[in-house]
A and B are shown apart, each in its own frame.
Chain A
Amino acid sequence: MLTLADVHTHYAKSHILHGISLEVEPGEVIGLLGRNGVGKSTTLKSIMGLVRPSQGRITFEGRDITGMASHKVAHLGIAYVPEDRRIFRLLTVMENLRTGLDRGGLTEARRKDLLDKVYESFPVLGERKNQLGGTLSGGEQQMLAIARAMMLEPKIILLDEPTEGLMPRMVSQIRDIIERLHREGVAILLVEQNVGLTLSATSRCYIMEKGLMRHHASSAALRADPSVIHQYLGV
């Protein structure tokens, strides 16, 4: 469904991605592991059209989306939950959700379904729907960022370090929502530092090092043989 073939990306003069290839099939939950600064976030940004690859091809459902404007990428069914969450701080929780809900072709009943689903998964968002996004705690902002992405009814969600800096209780809530999205058939490309969570939530993992894809294996195999993880991640 989503394919990256030999993608190179630069920021100004620094060469971040040195030819990344990966593939996500419909409904798959895939992990992208690696130390800080190896280009995991840049990979997601390249898919989302937030940085333009200098070389290589990104296709989604057979369509070339390399360097496409991000709003068009979003319309194709790719949602993005950035590492720093990027909540609209001066918009209320409800208005944050509306940025994804107010689009053409959505019936009133469907809107209500989507909101009900989100309030059921994240009750705290329902309680605070008229509160400004900037007044939420870090964990609540993370939930809002995921909920906001769900409003787009995406086929795949690019999830960048969703558990970073969260309390254990919140981490398990994030894990639940990943499982729920998986059951509903939404594909997820998960970037995480939390190796345990990633290996248990995903079916396959890619491991990156210095802008290159170094290893690719099933999560079960990586769980069985921790030496690979140790080699690339030092944990």
Chain B
Amino acid sequence: MFEQILVQTVNGLVNGMVLALVASGLTLIFGIMDVVNFAHGDLVMLGAFTGAVTVAQTGNFWLGLLVASLVIAAFGALLQIVTLRPLIGRDSLTTIIATFGISLVLQKYALWQFGPTAQNIPQPIPGRFELFYLQYPWYRLGAAVMAGAIIGALYLFLKYGKYGIWIRATTQDRIMAGAMGIPVPWVHTGVFAIGAAMAAASGVLFAPLAAVTQTMGAEFTLRAFSVVVVGGMGNLGGSILAALFISLLEAYASLVVSPSQAVIVSFVVLILTLLFRPTGLFVPTPIVPTAK
């Protein structure tokens, strides 16, 4: 039993890191432009397909990861300029409908472009190691480390980079950021591109662990959305903790029930959070509402 718990802890952390990578992009986008991107999972899916095609052509996984991130970043920037930029500042319902529409279009596009059959990316790191009673693939750990490295890079960029400070300033007060000469519309576009690139990277990292299909995005959107709400909308650190928390809970739950039933855990956590602490589990309680 003890060994099973340890194995599930490793599983939970691995899944949690990939989920955290998806959720970081989603929460970053929400934080800065109040847009809940319901097409976020479909960017994961498009990234996975782009990666699969690149890997099939070149045989190089890391090149696939890079190409998918860059292509989807550019695509995300274009998507933001064409569909979301004109809607910024309007009722959030309009952006929800817009991103939901984008999601449907992207799924049908993928069906048309890549066909209904699932694609695969072979695991780039071969071999397994012994984890108690299991032969555990090295790649699963590799994917978690890569996801962690990308999140770490994002953190450093936000903390120290010139554009990182622009992003944080715009997130806090978009009007004052503009008055300080920060080109707010382009910061929005840039953040959407970064979020899209992170989604694409998650898709490629996740692809060797499961099949790439045009419907895989919906699950990612839903799971990442739960994570972002539980972590506190727009709160990056909270999202990462929430992703690990929910994934660990799911992993432990699957010791008792079947893995497909264990998914219910994340929605239970979501509902409880909304009921009892709607500002998020992993954020400090807001004490005084600050005047803006």
Q: Give the B-binding residues of A (Cβ under 8 A).
A: 48-50, 69-71, 73-75, 79-80, 82, 84, 86, 88-91, 95, 98-100, 102-103, 134, 148, 152
B168 CB contact (under 8 Å) in A75, A90, A134: A90
Alpha-carbon separation in the docked complex, A103 to B184 (Å): 14
Alpha-carbon separation in the docked complex, A73 to B181 (Å): 8
B169, A134: Cβ atoms closer than 8 Å: no
Interface of chain B residues 7 through 65 with chain A (CB within 8 A): none
Taking CB atoms, residues of chain A closer than 8 Å to B220 are none
A50, B165: Cβ atoms closer than 8 Å: no
A71, B176: Cβ atoms closer than 8 Å: no
Taking CB atoms, residues of chain B closer than 8 Å to A69 are 178, 184-185
A71, B173: Cβ atoms closer than 8 Å: no
B165, A100: Cβ atoms closer than 8 Å: no
Give per-residue flags for B169-187: 1 if the beta carbon is below 8 A from chain A beta carbons, else 0.
1001101111111111100
A88, B172: Cβ atoms closer than 8 Å: yes
A103 CB contact (under 8 Å) in B176, B181, B185, B291: B181
B166 at the interface (CB under 8 A from A): yes
Given contacts A74-B179, A86-B173, A148-B180, contact A102 B168 (CB under 8 A): no
Output the nearest chain A residue to B180 by Cβ-Cβ distance: A99
Main secondary structure of the interface of B (DSSP, over half): helix
Alpha-carbon separation in the docked complex, A221 to B175 (Å): 38
B180 CB contact (under 8 Å) in A49, A134, A152: A152
B175, A70: Cβ atoms closer than 8 Å: yes
Taking CB atoms, residues of chain A closer than 8 Å to B169 are 88, 91, 95, 99
Taking CB atoms, residues of chain B closer than 8 Å to A134 are 290
Taking CB atoms, residues of chain B closer than 8 Å to A80 are 179
Interface of chain B residues 238 through 292 with chain A (CB within 8 A): 290-292
A70, B165: Cβ atoms closer than 8 Å: no
Alpha-carbon separation in the docked complex, A65 to B179 (Å): 14
A152, B290: Cβ atoms closer than 8 Å: no
Alpha-carbon separation in the docked complex, A86 to B181 (Å): 15
Alpha-carbon separation in the docked complex, A179 to B165 (Å): 31
B90 at the interface (CB under 8 A from A): no
Closest 9 CB pairs between A and B?
A74-B181, A70-B178, A86-B176, A102-B162, A80-B179, A99-B180, A71-B178, A71-B183, A99-B169
B181, A88: Cβ atoms closer than 8 Å: no
A50 CB contact (under 8 Å) in B166, B179, B183: B179
Q: A49-B178, A79-B179 are in contact. List 15 more A-B contacts (CB 8 A).
A: A69-B184, A71-B177, A74-B178, A75-B181, A80-B179, A82-B176, A82-B179, A88-B173, A89-B290, A90-B168, A91-B172, A99-B166, A102-B166, A134-B290, A148-B180
Taking CB atoms, residues of chain B closer than 8 Å to A49 are 178
Separation in Å of the B289 CB from the closest CB of chain A? 12
Output the nearest chain B residue to A158 by Cβ-Cβ distance: B179
Taking CB atoms, residues of chain A closer than 8 Å to B185 are 69
Alpha-carbon separation in the docked complex, A88 to B181 (Å): 14
B292 CB contact (under 8 Å) in A70, A79, A84, A103: A84
Given contacts A90-B168, A91-B168, contact A98 B179 (CB under 8 A): no
Alpha-carbon separation in the docked complex, A159 to B258 (Å): 64
Taking CB atoms, residues of chain A closer than 8 Å to B180 are 71, 74, 99-100, 148, 152
Given contacts A50-B179, A75-B181, contact A98 B172 (CB under 8 A): no
B168, A88: Cβ atoms closer than 8 Å: yes
Output the nearest chain B residue to A148 by Cβ-Cβ distance: B180
Taking CB atoms, residues of chain B closer than 8 Å to A100 are 180-181
Taking CB atoms, residues of chain B closer than 8 Å to A99 are 165-166, 169, 177, 180, 182
Output the nearest chain A residue to B176 by Cβ-Cβ distance: A86
Given contacts A99-B165, A102-B166, contact A88 B176 (CB under 8 A): yes
Output the nearest chain B residue to A90 by Cβ-Cβ distance: B172
B172, A71: Cβ atoms closer than 8 Å: no
Alpha-carbon separation in the docked complex, A70 to B175 (Å): 8
Taking CB atoms, residues of chain A closer than 8 Å to B162 are 98, 102
Interface of chain B residues 182 through 212 with chain A (CB within 8 A): 182-185
Taking CB atoms, residues of chain B closer than 8 Å to A50 are 175, 178-179
Alpha-carbon separation in the docked complex, A79 to B180 (Å): 7
Taking CB atoms, residues of chain B closer than 8 Å to A71 are 177-184
Given contacts A71-B182, A148-B180, contact A102 B173 (CB under 8 A): no
Taking CB atoms, residues of chain B closer than 8 Å to A84 are 291-292
Residue pairs across A and B with Cβ atoms less than 8 A apart, 24 shown, are: A50-B175, A50-B178, A69-B184, A70-B179, A71-B177, A71-B178, A71-B182, A71-B183, A74-B180, A75-B181, A82-B176, A88-B168, A88-B169, A88-B173, A89-B172, A89-B290, A90-B172, A91-B168, A91-B172, A95-B165, A99-B169, A100-B180, A103-B181, A148-B180
